[in-house]
Structure 1
């Protein structure tokens, strides 16, 4: 697996997502189409684990979180940027998703969750915000951001 191969793999998914509303219906569609026990999920999870080991994913660290943007929003990824984080029992920085966010949750520890979600997909709609949290162990999370839009802000007082 190389970054180029990874991009082709991601593009097979983002091609199906381009132009779709980021909402609960998309969450259901993703989990039905690319389930956590399915071939595409396994291929993506294996690619992410390989990328972390080889150092081309999650090649930065801050606040106990390993992270990295592997691709800006590109025509090849249908306008989605691609980030991967490696988190263990930690909450990340609060941020807003101006255009929404699609997350692929890949537990490295059995039972690890991301924002309370187990292995699989989670979709946040446009304008949503959260403090991303991995609990019950360690997980890799792949983030797809339309047009790469994300805004880090402190939480409201």
Structure 2
């Protein structure tokens, strides 16, 4: 419990299994993983992954081609990099993707936040929805199109 793992080099991994833990990477090709409650896994490097399976957890990526995934309740998965994906499967959880071609999906009781950016990265649209509203189905990947509408995707 009360653990921390940090990497700043390329091709690194930081892992926690205890409660109240944090795993952080700033290098490329990195992975940060938590399985305990009240945990946080964060990546700022490209091609990174941050994963939580505990309750009240957060997984965040700011690098390109990143993935953030949560399976615990009250969790948040957030991406700001291009071609990123955010996924949550816990009740009351939010998946947010803010990069170019970002996509998000959530389970029943969750929500998604997406934006649409042009090819230069300029923010054109941003939209949020709870699962079950605005045509958002559980466990389905969504993106925003150029008109700011949710569209299902692979």
Greater Cα radius of gyration, structure 1 or 2: 2
TM-score by length of 1: 0.28
Which has the higher relative contact order, 1 or 2, with Cα contacts under 8 A spaced 6 or more apart?
1
Higher strand share: 2
**Higher helix proportion:** 1
With the length of structure 2 as denominator, give the TM-score of the two structures. 0.28
